[in-house]
């Protein structure tokens, strides 16, 4: 290996992922350097070793190569070139930080090193800024706050020079200190330029994003904290050297109700538990592991299997004890070295930090311990024993009283309350009435499978002397039998008979209005079910006959009559009785549903609004949720997004704590879609985030949750939040299936992911997603999506430097565009393929052919005369032939293809001109021929753009200026000057920045032509 090969090998190695593999290769390259007998080769190889060690988990290895470098400098400074002299002094700072992070390095050695650093920087003529920054780091580490503040001030006061850290790193350190001192707001102000992208480096904004998480939470800026976690974790995930920042993200999850996500992060980096080359970052990591495991234990998951050090299985409780012990032992080593208790105090405070947010949905899926992060109510404390928990249970009388109270209010919690009564009454003798209510509510909890229990309840009510409630229970039994898969014929006959009986009882004063309404509502519900049956039978081609209405129209009329009867009976009592008020409201809801089936959307909305108002007025808002949701659907159908939004928000409000997680998920996603339809993607993203969270809580992460994440990623994409969108979409992708979500959703998710990754500069990964999406779309009848995806993949592959793969994708895209008859897209793909070919060695000839093909496609599509009919020239007179053709054309498609012809000639000329090497000799014939060819294309481009009038004036002036520069190269100074004046005249018809820029370029061209003369 010669010196050049060694340098290339070191450059290639530095581009590899951080870790032991890269470090081992650096060690091999040092051996190769030593064989060359070239001191500079050894110096560069040692410097390379230092860099890869510093950005890895093996930072402790830095000291040996640095000591050797320093000795070589002291003995033979002439062996160092300017770059290596700078590098040697630069890594002095790494040594200071590296010594602090190694507890076996004595404090006296660190202080001595500070003095040595100061002396050498002074000799080299460097500012004190880096030295004072290193002193600040030492004082802050020791907890010497007074010295740290002095050094901090001196650091900022010293001049910035070549040895100062980059702006991003300095701002990170300054903000970190303000946060340590309790000034979170000041910290975030200092970090703002880094977070905004004004300053960046290899490890920023990675570190700032991680450090900002807790300050943002403490300030209540939780949305920003969530965004910083999603954005920042993507940056540190693959960087082995960023264990401390990684720990910050784990801590953030543990303190925001996202313990399951914290476990997933820990599982991704098993080596972080044991890597010992950087003790300080291991201390950070172990502290956060202990915090996370303590959180899981407090949530009742002490026995949950968790990821931990290799070699054995771990539970949360076991890993909590291990991590705490290891962290405290390591902190003690630092404190022994430092002579202060500062590190130990900070570690204990971190491990014992309480949650900062009870629940902060992140949007990404977390498949962690059951219920972790999704508790709607607090679990029993881990320290509460079963006997104590049992002692806290109320007695049977209290349970009965509470159950009856909830039943009177028609509260959804009445069913579980009666279930508690049933458990408490096991083995006890109860009155028939009590047993009847237990059976009745148990049947309600079983849904369509509760018929037998309703029948049992009816018998017990009869024994208790309540014939009306017995009839009501029998009517409920008949209804659920109809729902449980059988025909509604028998149920209709039963409820008709029960209606007659209960009305007779009511007329005789032997039952109350509530029991009568219960029978009437069961009959109306059963008739509505008959409508459903007939509708399904019509679809399946199996007509229903027998007892009851035989046609859908007859069934709807009967159901409407039953609903009206219920309404007229119950509404007069609505102000006096909660149960009857709810029956009246349900009658309105039935009428609304029947109106919707009859395609009377406005009538349906009116009835449903009355139903909602009735439930809310009765103090039963949770029953209004279903009808709020239907109102939202009707409003969407009628094209009234404002009404749809109001109804969906009302559903969420009315559901409150009674709404199940699945209901929350559905309503939040509906609201998100409604908001997105009116372009409000920010609020839409917030509700899609809630939908994903509630879907996870409902154990629907792989079904409804994936759909919510799909939408959330799309909304974030539209907001330009690329990193967050990518993280969410990547989380959704594994759960999306063609069977459940459709192929289109998978293709769209990968399409969006490609867009995000392109914006993030991850072109190869973007191409992968677009190619996979294209693989699905290639089987679709309509091939436009397939063509677009192939085209996008080709562009991404070209941007990733994969020229051969890009060319294959472009060939595929061109073929598809040709089949689709989209000449404009075909031409653009041919041009892009030409530029890709031009970038390959020896590809210029192919690039010319492709550009020529693009010209032919344009001319054919626009029905233009052959190129010779277009007279080249710099002024307005050169456009006559094309303009005449354009006057005859007129169609939009034709004009677009004329414009594409202009762009193609412009790019063709640019491609030819750029093929001339920078080192080409003036007067070379080949060079002149290339410039003349390029000028011809630019003249054609200018003429074509001129033919389109004002619409492409900016493109025309650009082509004119490019032609003028070529004329200057060819010595045609007068032509170039005339062209520049033409552009100045055209600028009078341009507006804004474009006019300013073109005018400046034209004046520059005039000056250039004058200088050439």
Q: How much is the average pLDDT of 210-221?
A: 97
CB 634 within 8 A of CB 608: yes
Instruction: Assess whether pLDDT exceeds 70 at residue 420.
Output: yes
CB 1001 within 8 A of CB 958: no
CB 668 within 8 A of CB 694: yes
- 851-867: per-residue pLDDT in tens? 999 999 999 888 754 44
Output the CA torsion sign for 710, 712, 713, 719. positive
Closest CA to 488 of 562, 572, 381, 597: 562
- 239-263: per-residue pLDDT in tens? 888 999 999 999 999 999 999 999 9
Q: How much is the average pLDDT of 581-596?
A: 95
Question: Which stretch, 363-372, 724-733, 871-880, has highest mean pLDDT?
Answer: 724-733
pTM: 0.83
pLDDT of residue 970: 87
pLDDT of residue 919: 59
- 970-1009: per-residue pLDDT in tens? 889 889 899 889 988 888 888 888 888 888 998 898 888 7
Instruction: Assess whether pLDDT exceeds 70 at residue 908.
Output: yes
pLDDT of residue 393: 63
Distance CA 352, CA 71 (A): 46
Contacts of 688 (CB under 8 A, 6+ apart): 363, 668, 669, 672, 708, 709, 711, 712, 715
pLDDT of residue 232: 95
Q: Give the torsion through C-alpha atoms of 670, 671, 674, 678, to 10 deg.
A: -150
Distance CA 776, CA 336 (A): 62
Instruction: Assess whether pLDDT exceeds 70 at residue 881.
Output: no
Instruction: Assess whether pLDDT exceeds 90 at residue 410.
Output: no
Instruction: Assess whether pLDDT exceeds 50 at residue 1013.
Output: yes
pLDDT band at 949 (very low <50, low <70, confident <90, very high): confident
pLDDT band at 299 (very low <50, low <70, confident <90, very high): very high
CB 365 within 8 A of CB 378: no
Q: What residues form DSSP beta bridges with 306?
A: 314
Q: How much is the average pLDDT of 369-397?
A: 46
pLDDT of residue 370: 40
pLDDT of residue 874: 38
Q: How much is the average pLDDT of 577-601?
A: 94
Q: How much is the average pLDDT of 884-905?
A: 72
Q: How much is the average pLDDT of 753-776?
A: 96
Q: Give the torsion through C-alpha atoms of 966, 972, 978, 984, to 10 deg.
A: 30
Exposed/middle/buried for residue 584 (C-beta within 10 Å: 0-12, 13-18, 19+): buried
917 or 556, greater pLDDT:
556
Distance CA 958, CA 942 (A): 8
Q: What residues form DSSP beta bridges with 305?
A: 315
Distance CA 208, CA 828 (A): 41
Instruction: Assess whether pLDDT exceeds 90 at residue 292.
Output: yes
CB 372 within 8 A of CB 312: no
Q: What is the mean pLDDT of the chain?
A: 89
- How many Cβ atoms are within 10 Å of 546's Cβ, its own excluded? 11
Instruction: Assess whether pLDDT exceeds 70 at residue 383.
Output: no
Question: Cα–Cα distances in Å, from 866 out to 4, 871, 882?
Answer: 52, 11, 10
133 or 537, greater pLDDT:
133
pLDDT of residue 793: 96
Distance CA 841, CA 29 (A): 30
């Amino acid at each position: 290996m010669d010196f050049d090969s060694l340098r290339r090998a070191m450059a290639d190695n530095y581009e590899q992922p951080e870790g032991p593999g890269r470090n081992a290769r650096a060690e091999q390259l040092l051996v190769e350097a030593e064989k060359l007998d070239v001191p500079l080769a050894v110096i560069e190889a040692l410097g390379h070793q230092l860099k890869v060690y510093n950005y890895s988990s093996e930072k402790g290895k830095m000291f040996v190569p640095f000591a050797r470098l320093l000795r070589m400098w002291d003995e033979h400074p002439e062996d160092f070139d300017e770059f290596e002299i700078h590098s040697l002094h630069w890594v002095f700072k790494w040594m200071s930080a590296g010594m602090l992070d190694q507890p076996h390095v004595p404090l006296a050695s660190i202080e001595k090193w500070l003095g040595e650093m100061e002396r050498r920087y002074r000799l080299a003529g460097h500012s004190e800024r880096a030295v004072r920054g290193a002193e600040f780091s030492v004082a802050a580490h020791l907890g010497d706050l007074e010295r740290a503040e002095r050094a901090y001030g001196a650091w900022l006061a010293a001049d910035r020079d070549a040895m100062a850290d980059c702006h991003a790193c300095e701002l990170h350190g300054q903000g970190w200190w303000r946060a340590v001192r309790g000034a979170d707001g000041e910290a975030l102000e200092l970090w703002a330029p880094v977070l905004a992208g004004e300053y960046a480096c290899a490890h920023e904004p990675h570190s700032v994003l991680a450090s900002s998480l807790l300050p943002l939470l403490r300030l209540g800026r939780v949305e920003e904290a969530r965004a910083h976690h999603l954005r920042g974790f993507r940056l540190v995930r693959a960087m082995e050297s960023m264990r401390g920042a990684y720990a910050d993200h784990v801590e953030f999850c543990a303190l925001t109700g996202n313990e399951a996500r914290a476990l997933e992060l820990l599982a991704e980096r098993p080596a972080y538990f044991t890597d010992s080359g950087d003790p300080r970052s291991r201390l950070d990591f172990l502290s956060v592991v202990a915090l996370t495991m303590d959180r899981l234990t407090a949530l009742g998951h002490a026995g949950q299997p968790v990821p931990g050090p290799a070699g054995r299985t771990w539970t949360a409780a076991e890993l909590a004890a291990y991590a705490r012990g290891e962290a405290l032992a390591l902190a003690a080593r630092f404190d022994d070295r430092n002579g202060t208790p500062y590190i130990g105090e900070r570690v204990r405070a971190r491990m014992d930090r309480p949650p900062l947010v009870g629940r902060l949905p992140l949007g990404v899926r977390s498949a962690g311990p059951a219920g972790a992060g999704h508790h709607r109510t607090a679990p029993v404390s881990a320290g509460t024993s079963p006997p104590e928990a049992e002692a806290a249970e109320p007695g049977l009388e209290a349970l009965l009283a509470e159950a009856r109270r909830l039943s009177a209010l028609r509260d959804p919690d009445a069913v579980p309350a009666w279930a508690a009564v049933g458990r408490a009454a096991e083995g006890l003798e109860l009155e028939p009435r009590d047993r009847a209510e237990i059976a009745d509510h148990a049947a309600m909890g079983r849904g369509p499978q509760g018929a037998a229990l309703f029948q049992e309840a009816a018998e017990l009510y009869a024994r208790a002397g309540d014939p009306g409630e017995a009839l009501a229970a029998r009517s409920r039994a008949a209804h659920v039998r109809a729902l449980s898969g059988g025909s509604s014929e028998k149920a209709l006959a039963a409820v008709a008979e029960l209606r007659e009986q209960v009305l007779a009882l009511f007329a005789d004063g032997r039952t109350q209005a509530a029991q009568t309404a219960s029978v009437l509502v069961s009959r109306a519900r059963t008739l509505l079910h008959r409508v459903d049956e007939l509708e399904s039978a019509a679809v399946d081609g199996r007509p229903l006959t027998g007892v009851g209405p035989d046609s859908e129209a007859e069934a709807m009329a009967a159901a409407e009559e039953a609903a009206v009867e219920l309404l007229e009976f119950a509404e007069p009592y609505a102000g006096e009785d909660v149960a009857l008020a709810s029956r009246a409201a349900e009658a309105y809801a039935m009428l609304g549903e029947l109106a919707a089936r009859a395609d009377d959307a406005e009538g349906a909305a009116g009835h449903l609004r009355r139903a909602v108002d009735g439930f809310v007025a009765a103090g039963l808002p949770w029953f209004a949720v279903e009808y709020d949701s239907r109102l939202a659907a009707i409003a969407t159908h009628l094209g009234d997004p404002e009404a749809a939004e109001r109804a969906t928000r009302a559903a969420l409000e009315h559901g409150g704590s009674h709404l199940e997680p699945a209901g929350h998920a559905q309503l939040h996603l509906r609201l998100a879609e409604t908001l997105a339809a009116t372009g409000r993607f920010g609020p839409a993203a917030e509700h899609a985030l809630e939908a994903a969270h509630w879907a996870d809580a409902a154990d629907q992460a792989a079904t409804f949750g994936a759909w919510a994440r799909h939408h959330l990623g799309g909304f974030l994409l539209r907001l330009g939040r690329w990193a967050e969108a990518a993280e969410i979409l990547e989380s959704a992708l594994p759960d999306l299936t063609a069977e459940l979500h459709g192929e289109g959703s998978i293709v769209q998710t990968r399409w969006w992911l490609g867009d995000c990754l392109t914006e993030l500069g991850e072109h190869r990964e973007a191409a992968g997603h677009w190619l996979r999406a294209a693989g699905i779309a290639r089987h679709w009848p309509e091939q436009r999506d397939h063509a677009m995806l192939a085209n996008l993949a080709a562009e991404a592959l070209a941007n990733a430097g994969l020229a051969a793969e890009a060319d294959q994708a472009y060939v595929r895209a061109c073929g598809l565009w040709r089949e689709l008859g989209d000449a404009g897209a075909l031409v653009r793909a041919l041009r892009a393929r030409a530029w890709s070919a031009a970038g390959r060695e020896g590809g210029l000839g192919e690039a010319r052919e492709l550009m020529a093909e693009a010209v032919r496609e344009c001319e054919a599509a626009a029905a233009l005369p052959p190129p010779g009919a277009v007279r080249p020239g710099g002024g307005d007179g050169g456009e006559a032939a094309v303009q005449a053709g354009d006057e005859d054309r007129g169609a939009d498609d034709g004009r677009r293809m004329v414009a594409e012809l202009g762009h193609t000639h412009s790019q063709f000329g640019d491609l030819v001109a750029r093929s001339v090497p920078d080192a080409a000799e003036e007067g070379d014939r080949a060079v002149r021929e290339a410039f003349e060819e390029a000028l011809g294309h630019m003249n054609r481009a200018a003429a074509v753009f001129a033919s389109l009038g004002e619409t492409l004036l900016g493109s025309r002036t650009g082509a004119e200026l490019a032609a003028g520069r070529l004329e200057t190269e060819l010595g045609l100074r007068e032509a170039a000057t005339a062209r520049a004046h033409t552009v100045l005249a055209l600028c009078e018809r341009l507006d804004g920045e474009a006019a300013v820029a073109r005018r400046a370029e034209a004046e520059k061209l005039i000056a250039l032509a004058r200088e050439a003369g």
